[in-house]
Structure 1
Amino acid sequence: MPIPGNMLSAATESMDPTFTGWRVRLNCTLLSGTGGRNGPKSLSVKSSAAGEVQAETVTMYSVTAGQAYQVFADSSSATEVERIGMEWLTNLGSPVGSILWSLPTATASSTWHRVGVAGVAPAGASRVRIVLSSTAAGAAVSHYWENVYLGSPIRTTGNLLSFATETPEIDTSAWTAGANTTVSRQVPMMSWSVNWYWAGAHVLALTATGAGTASATTVENPVVTPGVEYLAFAYLAPPTTGSNCWIELRFFNGSGTQLSATRGTLAPASTGFHRQKVSAVAPAGAVSCRLAVGMDSATAAQQLRVEQAVVQVAPAVQAGSVLPYADASFEQGVAGWTKTTGVATIARSTPWGDVALEGSYSLTVTSSTTTASTIRSARFPLPAGSGGLGFRLQYSETITAGGWTVTRGVRWYDAANTDLGLTTPAAATAPGPGWWTLFADHAAPAAATQAAVELTLTATSTNSVINIDKVALWQALPLTSVAWSVESAFVRLTLRELSLDDLIRVWRVTEDGTRTLVRGPSGLLDGTVAVTSDLMIIDDYEAPLATPVFYRVELTSPGGSLTIRNSSWATIPHADINLAWLKDPSAPQRNMQVMVKQAPNWARPVEQGVYRVAGRRNAVVLSDVRGGLEGELVIWTRSDEERRNLHWLLDPGRVLLWQAAPGMGVDDVYVSVGAISENRVGGPATELWREWSLPLSEVDMPTTVGVGGSAGRTWQDILTEFASWEAVRDAYATWEHVLLDQRRE
C-alpha cells in the first residue's frame, strides 16, 4: 500500500513493477531485486568496485525553502551499513550546500530495517533528490532498498509535541539532558513493520556519565487544560532487562513551578524497544506539561534509547466511558483499584507485553485459596442527568491459571458520596482460554451521580490467576443510529461499540432492495477498510433526496466471523422541486443547491461504422455499446455568494453528483462537467442572477475516491508544526488546503 503523503510515485516508492524512478549516481549498477515487503520487488544496488556506492532518484521533487521534509527507506545488507540523504537543489538542478545525510546505521543486517533523516530545506532550495549510499568492500556486492518515503514529516495524530521532539530525525535540540546524562542520536538496526512510519531511524540515546539516575526532558512545554486527562508514551530500549527505566508526565503552573509528576515504569521483557505509557489528569492551576524519560541506578556508560515521544489527550478505552485511561488499561499500575474483601492480591502484570489486550499490561488478580474476593475501582462522576438511565459495564479477561466465577457489578453514589447500593447480574463462570470480552447492563438509581466498578471473583482452584483489561462503563446508547440534515442533504450514520481491526462494509439500501456502497475517508467502505475506533460516524452525502433508505453494516472479524447490523429508515426531506444539488463526493464542503432553469435533453452517442454493400438495399452496421447520457443543464445562481460557490465547486474539474427532486424524471447521476458558460439574466448591471450552461457527460461512480480531509487531524496538530498562525497562513493558500494539508509549492 502506498505511504500516505509520499511525494514519490508508487513505483519509485516500492520498486514495483520495476525501479525506473532510480538511476546510478556512483560506482554501481541497478537491478530489480526480489524479496520486497512493500510489494514483491526491491532495488538491488550492485557495486562496480570497492568504495562508496550511490543511487539517486531520477526526478527532482519540488520543495519550499524553510519547510521541514523527511525521507526514509527500508534497507537490507548482510555486510554493509548504509545511510540516506537529501540533496537540496535549485530549480535548475544546481546543488545548494552539501547533502543532508543520516547517520550510518550502527550495524549491517540482512533483515529489512529503517534508515532515514529529516531537515529544513535551506534558502535557495526549490528541488530535492534522494540519495542512497553504502560502502562496498569490493565489486559485485549487492545492497537492497525499498519502501522509500519523501514528504512532510510524519507525526502522531494529536501529539502536543513537535516532530523534532517526537523523533530526533533532525537533531537532539528538542531535548535537554539532566544531571549525569549526555544526549545524542543513534541509528540502531531496527526491524519495524513495513507500514509503521512513525519510528525506526534515528533514536534519542541517553548515556549515564556516572552511577545514579540519568534523565532527559523535553524543551517544549505544550499548553494543557486543568481537569483533562493526558496520555504520554514513548518507545524505551533499556540497557539491560534489570534496568529501572521510566517515562514521566509533569504538569506546571503559569510561573513554571511543577505541580505534579506521574511516572510509568517499564517492566522490560528484553533490551529491545518497548512502548511505555503513562497518563494523568492535569491538576488545578496547570497550564503546561513536559515529558521526561530516564533510568534509575544506572552505571556509567549505560544507555537508554528513546523513540516516538508523544503527549496527547488520553483516548477513552470505550467511547463515552467514565473510567480514566489509567484505571481502564493498567499501563502504569493498578491506579484507583483496591481489594475490598478476600485474600486475592492485585498487581500490574509483568513483564511488558506478557499478558495484555490494550497497551502492554493488564491487572493481575491472584487467589491462593478457593474463596471469593472483591475488587473495586475508584469512584468516577457520571454525565449530568444519568439518574435512572441504563449503563453498560464491559471488560476483557483471560484466565492464566486455575478457574474463576465472576459477578459484574456497579456500585452507585450520590453527590454527597452516599453509597446507593450495588447492582449485579447473576454470577457466571469466566470463560477461557484466551481473551474474552464480558459485559452487563445496569440501571443507575435516580440520585446517582457517581459510580465504581465492582467485581466479585471466586477462584475455583488454589493459586488461580485472572488478568483483566479494557474496563469501561458508559451510558448505553443504540449500537446503530441515523440522523439527517436538510440544509446539507446528507444522512449521518453512527456506529457504536465496534471491535477494532474488524473489516467494515456499509451498504445504502433503498425500498426496492437496491444496494450501493457508502463512501468513507479512503474510498468506498467495501470490506477492505479496518475499524480503528469503537465509535464511527459516517456522513453519507450521496444518499438520494426524499427517498427512504436504511444502512446494512457488515463487520468481519480477523477470525472470519460476520456480524450484520441494520439501521432504521432515514429520509432527506426536499421540498422545492425547482432546486437540485450538485455535489463533489470527495469534498462535500463544496456541495451546493442550485435552481434549475432547464433540465438536459439527453443524447446517448454511439460509435458506429456503416458499410454500403453494392447490390444490397441495407447497410452493414458495426456498432460499439451505446454511451452514457450527454446533455446541457441550465441553472441559475441568485446571489454573488452562490456564484462564487459554484465556481469553487467546478474549479477542480472533479466528478460531481447531480441530484434532482424525485418525480422530475431524472435519476441521480454522476457527471463530468465540460466547458461552462456564465451569462447575465438581463436588466441592470447590478442584477445578481446568473444563468449557467453546464455540459454534462454521465460517468461511473468514483470508487477509490475518499471523502477529503485528514482523519483525526486537529487544530493542535496544525499549530504544533508552525511557530504561529501567521506561519500557517503563509504555508497554505486557503483554509481548505489546511484541512487537506496541501501546502504551497
Structure 2
Amino acid sequence: MPIPGNFLSATTESIDPNTSGWNPKMNCGPLVKGVGGRNGDGCLVTKSLLAGEVQARTVSSYPVTPGVVYQVFADTAGAVPERIGIRWLNSAGTEIGITWSLTTAAASSSWHRVGVAGAAPVGTATAQVLLSSTETAGSVSHYWENVYLGLPLRTTGNLLGFGTESTEIDASGWAAEVNATISRQAPVVSWAVDNYLAGGQALAISAVAAGNAAAVTVDRPGVTPGVEYAAHAYLQPPVSTAQAWIELRYYDSGGSQIAAQRSTLAAPGTGMYRQTASLVAPPTAATCSAAAGLVGASAGQVLRLETVVISVAPVLQSGTVVPYADGSIEQGIAGWAVSSGAATLARSTPWGAVALDGSYSLAVTSATATASVIRSERFPTPGGAGLNWRAQIAARPTGGTWASVNIKIRWYDAANVDLGTSSGTTWTVPGAVGWYVMPTDAAAPAGATQVAIELTVTASAINSTLHIDKALLWRVLPQTAVTSDADGGYITLTLRELPADQRISLYRETPDGIRALVRGPAGLVDRQLITSDLMVIEDHEAPMDMSVRYRIQFYDAAGTYASSRSSELVQVTLADAQEAWLKDPGNPQRNLRVMVEKAPDWTRPIEQSAYVVKGRRNKVVLSGRRQGLEGDLSIWTRSDSERLALHLLLDSGNVLLWQAVPGMGITDMYVSVGQITEARTGGTAQEPWRAWTLPLVEADMPVTTGVNGAAGRTWQDIVAEFTTWADVLAVYATTEDLFLDRRTG
C-alpha cells in the first residue's frame, strides 16, 4: 500500500515493478531491482564502482515551498552504515544545499529505518531524495525500499509538535533536567514496514555521572481538567536491567508542577519498547509535559526515545468509566487491591509477556487453593437508578489451575457508603491457556453514584496464576440506533459493541425490499474490517420521505457469515416539495438544498445506424443499448451564500446525487453535470437570486468513493503544528482544505 501523502510515485517508493524512479548520482553503477523487499517484493540495489561514497537520487524533482518542513525516510540494509538526505534545488535545477540525516550507528543486513526532516531553504523550488552509503570496496551492493518524501507524518491527536515527537529535525523540543545531556543518534532499529511514524533518528538522554538522569519536553501543551491523558514513547534502555521510565506531568496556570505519573519499563532486552503513563488531569491543570530518564544510571549510559506522544488516553471500550490505567495495567496495578484471601497482585513482567491490550496485565497469584476477592477503585456511574451497566474483564490462566471467576458490580453512593453488590455471574475457567471474556450486567440501585468491579477468583491448586486485562464498565445502550437530520438531509447510524476483528457489511433497505450498501470513510461498507467497538455512519444517500431500515451483517476472519442486526425504521424528511438536494457522496460538507424551478424533460439517446436495402420499403436499423436519462434541471439560488456553495459543489466535476421528494416522477439519481448556466432573474443589480440550468446525464453510483473527513484530526493537532494563523494560511487555501488536511505545495 502506498505511504499516505508521499510525493513519490508508487513505483519510486516501492521499486515495483522497476527502478525507473531512480538514477545513479555518484560512484554508482547501473541500478538494479532486487527482491526481498517488504513494501512489495522489489527493492533498489545500488552498487559501488569504487571504494567510497555511493549516491543515488530520484529521477524527478518534487515541488516544495521555502520555509516549509519536509520529511524523508527509507528502509535500508547493507554491509556499511548509511544516511539519507533531501537535496534542495532552485527553479533552474541548481543544487542549493542538502539536509542529511545522521549516519546510522552501525551496519545491518536487516531492514532498518533512516530518515531526516528539515525546512526548505530560501529560493528552493523542488527537492530530490538522496540515498548514500560509503562502501569499503568496489562492486558492493546496498539495498533500499519504502522511500518517502513529503510533509511530516505525525501521530494524530498528539499534543506535542512533530519536532518533539520524532526529533527528525533536531533535539530542540527537549531539555536536560537532571544529570543528563541530550542529543540525537541514529540507532539501527527494524521497524514494521508500515510504521510510518517511526523515524531514523532518536533522542538520546546520556547520564553525565552515576545516578538518576532525566530530560523533559520543552513543549507545555494545554490540557482540560478532568480528562485522562496518556504519554507514551518507545524506550531503548542501555541494558535490560536498567530502570527506564516515562512520566506524564501536569502544571497549573502559573507553571508549577501539580501532579505526575511515572511508568517504568520492565524491559525484556535492549530493543525499542513502547511504554505508557496515564493520569486524569487535576482540576487546576493547565498544561502538561512528558519526561523520561533512568534510575541509578551508570556514567555514560544512554536512554533513547522514539515517537513521543501525549494524547487523550486510549478508550478500551466506548463509554467505559474505567480509566486507562485501571483497565490496561500499563504502569502498575492502579486502584486494584485484594479485599480478602491469599491472592497477591502485581503487574505482569516483562514487557509484552502476557497482555491483551498494551504490553502488561494484572497478575493474580494464589499460594493456596482457596477463593480470594479483589476489587477495583471506585468509578463514577452517572445517570441514576435503574440504568443497566455492564462490567467485563478478560482473564487468562497461566499457572496452576483455577476453578472459577465470579464478576460482580459493587455500588456506592456519593458519600462512599457501600450499597452492596449485584448478584454477579460465575464463569468457569477453562484449563487451556487463552484469553476469556467474562461480563456481567446489573441495574443501578437508588442512590448509586459510584461503582467498583469485584472479582472472586477461586484457585484449585497451590501457586496458581491468573492474568486479567482490559477491565471495562460501561452503561449498556442500544447496540443499533438511528436518528434523522432533516436540516442536513441525512440519517445517523450508531453501531455499538461491534465484534473485534470481524468484518462488517452495512445495507440500507427500502420498503420495496431492495438493499443498497451504505457509504463509509473507505467506500461502500462491504466486509470491511472492524477496528473499533463503535461505528458512527452518516448516510447522506438515504432517500427523502421514505422509511428505511439498516441491516448489519458480520463475517468472521475467514469470510464466513457470523451474525446480523437490524435497525428500527427511520425517515429523513424534505419539508418543502419544491426543494431538492444536490449532494457530493464523497464530500457531504458540500451538500446543498436548492429550490427547483423546473424538473428536466428527459431524453434517452441511443446509437443507431440505418441502412437502405434496395427493393425494400423499410430500413434496416442496427441499435446499441439505449442510454440513461439526460435533461436540464432548472433551479434557483436565493442568496450569495447559496450561489457560492453551489459553485463549490460543482467545481470538482464529481458525480453528484440528486434527491427530490416522491411525487416529482423521479427517483434518486446519480448524475454528471455538464456546462452550467448561471443567469440573473431580473430586478435590481443587487438582486441575489440566480437562475441556474444544470445539464444532467444519469451516471452509475460511485463505488470506490469514500466519505472524506478529518480522519481523527482536531483543533489540537492544528495548535501542535502551527504557531500562528498566518502559518495556517500559508499551508491551507480554504477552510475545507484545513478540514481535510489538503496542504499547498
Shorter-chain TM-score category? over 0.9
Q: Which one-letter code corresponds to 1:572 in the other structure?
A: V
**Distance in 2 separating the partners of 1:150 and 1:623:** 52
Is 1:188 aligned to residue 167 of structure 2? Answer: no
Q: Which one-letter code corresponds to 1:58 in the other structure?
A: V
Q: CA deviation at 1:617?
A: 6.0
Q: CA deviation at 1:154?
A: 0.9
Aligned residue for 1:703, secondary structure, equals coil
CA RMSD of aligned residues (A): 1.9
Q: Counterpart of 1:659?
A: 659
How do 1:413-492 and structure 2 match up within 5 A?
Answer: 413-431=412-430, 432-492=432-492
Provide, for residues 590-614 of structure 1, a one-character-per-residue CA deviation record: whole Å limited to 9, x for no partner: 1011112222223333444555566
Q: Counterpart of 1:564?
A: 564
**Distance in 1 separating the partners of 2:645 and 2:112:** 49
Contact 1:191/1:200 (<8 A) preserved: no
Q: CA deviation at 1:568?
A: 1.8
**Distance in 1 separating the partners of 2:733 and 2:204:** 39
Q: Counterpart of 1:244?
A: 243
Contact 2:405/2:427 (<8 A) preserved: yes
**Distance in 2 separating the partners of 1:612 and 1:198:** 70
Q: Counterpart of 2:76?
A: 75
Q: CA deviation at 1:320?
A: 1.2
Contact 2:545/2:571 (<8 A) preserved: yes
Name the CA shift for 1:330/1:594 in 2 (closer, same or farther; >3 Å): same
**Distance in 1 separating the partners of 2:488 and 2:395:** 44
How do 1:14-93 and structure 2 match up within 5 A?
Answer: 14-26=14-26, 27-77=28-78, 79-93=79-93
Name the CA shift for 1:56/1:604 in 2 (closer, same or farther; >3 Å): farther
Q: Structure 2: which 5+ residue stretches go unaligned? A: none
Aligned residue for 1:289, secondary structure, equals strand
Q: CA deviation at 1:195?
A: 1.2
Q: Counterpart of 1:583?
A: 583
Q: Which one-letter code corresponds to 1:169 in the other structure?
A: E
Provide, for residues 252-297 of structure 1, a one-character-per-residue CA deviation record: whole Å limited to 9, x for no partner: 2222222122110100111111100111122232211111111111
Q: Counterpart of 1:324?
A: 323
**Distance in 2 separating the partners of 1:143 and 1:55:** 11
Q: CA deviation at 1:249?
A: 1.1
Q: Which one-letter code corresponds to 1:246 in the other structure?
A: W
Name the CA shift for 1:243/1:498 in 2 (closer, same or farther; >3 Å): same
**Distance in 1 separating the partners of 2:191 and 2:613:** 70
Q: Which one-letter code corresponds to 2:173 in the other structure?
A: A
Aligned residue for 1:737, secondary structure, equals helix
Percent identity, aligned pairs only, is 55
Is 1:598 aligned to residue 630 of structure 2? Answer: no
Q: Counterpart of 1:389?
A: 387
**Distance in 1 separating the partners of 2:113 and 2:189:** 6
Contact 1:719/1:728 (<8 A) preserved: no
Q: Which one-letter code corresponds to 1:593 in the other structure?
A: R
Q: CA deviation at 1:508?
A: 1.7
Q: Structure 1: which 5+ residue stretches go unaligned? A: none
Q: CA deviation at 1:744?
A: 2.8
Q: 1:399 aligns with which of 397, 400, 415?
A: 397
Q: Counterpart of 1:209?
A: 208
Provide, for residues 194-222 of structure 1, a one-character-per-residue CA deviation record: whole Å limited to 9, x for no partner: 11111141111222222111211111111
**Distance in 2 separating the partners of 1:274 and 1:613:** 83
**Distance in 2 separating the partners of 1:701 and 1:140:** 55
Q: CA deviation at 1:569?
A: 1.9
Name the CA shift for 1:259/1:706 in 2 (closer, same or farther; >3 Å): same
Contact 2:427/2:438 (<8 A) preserved: no
**Distance in 1 separating the partners of 2:526 and 2:181:** 51
**Distance in 1 separating the partners of 2:57 and 2:700:** 40
Provide, for residues 589-645 of structure 1, a one-character-per-residue CA deviation record: whole Å limited to 9, x for no partner: 110111122222233334445555666666565554443332221111122222121
Aligned residue for 1:601, secondary structure, equals coil
Q: Counterpart of 2:640?
A: 640
Task: Point out the more displaced range, 721-730 or 223-232.
Answer: 721-730
Q: CA deviation at 1:557?
A: 4.1
Aligned residue for 2:110, secondary structure, equals strand
Task: Point out the more displaced range, 203-212 or 267-276.
Answer: 203-212
**Distance in 1 separating the partners of 2:534 and 2:647:** 36
How do 1:125-274 and structure 2 match up within 5 A?
Answer: 125-274=124-273
Provide, for residues 46-67 of structure 1, a one-character-per-residue CA deviation record: whole Å limited to 9, x for no partner: 3334332222222221212221
How do 1:505-520 and structure 2 match up within 5 A?
Answer: 505-520=505-520
Aligned residue for 2:258, secondary structure, equals strand
TM-score, with length taken from structure 2: 0.96
Q: CA deviation at 1:245?
A: 0.7
**Distance in 2 separating the partners of 1:609 and 1:33:** 55
Q: Which one-letter code corresponds to 2:603 in the other structure?
A: A
**Distance in 2 separating the partners of 1:611 and 1:205:** 84
Name the CA shift for 1:33/1:605 in 2 (closer, same or farther; >3 Å): farther
**Distance in 1 separating the partners of 2:602 and 2:10:** 40
TM-score, with length taken from structure 1: 0.96
Contact 2:408/2:425 (<8 A) preserved: no
Is 1:297 aligned to residue 296 of structure 2? Answer: yes
Q: Which one-letter code corresponds to 1:222 in the other structure?
A: P
How many residues are matched?
A: 741
Q: CA deviation at 1:121?
A: 1.4
**Distance in 1 separating the partners of 2:681 and 2:73:** 57
Task: Point out the more displaced range, 531-540 or 505-514.
Answer: 505-514
Name the CA shift for 1:721/1:203 in 2 (closer, same or farther; >3 Å): same
Is 1:95 aligned to residue 95 of structure 2? Answer: yes
Q: Which one-letter code corresponds to 1:283 in the other structure?
A: P
Aligned residue for 1:439, secondary structure, equals strand
**Distance in 2 separating the partners of 1:556 and 1:86:** 46
Q: Counterpart of 1:550?
A: 549
Aligned residue for 2:718, secondary structure, equals helix
**Distance in 2 separating the partners of 1:46 and 1:607:** 59
**Distance in 2 separating the partners of 1:220 and 1:403:** 49
**Distance in 2 separating the partners of 1:16 and 1:623:** 44
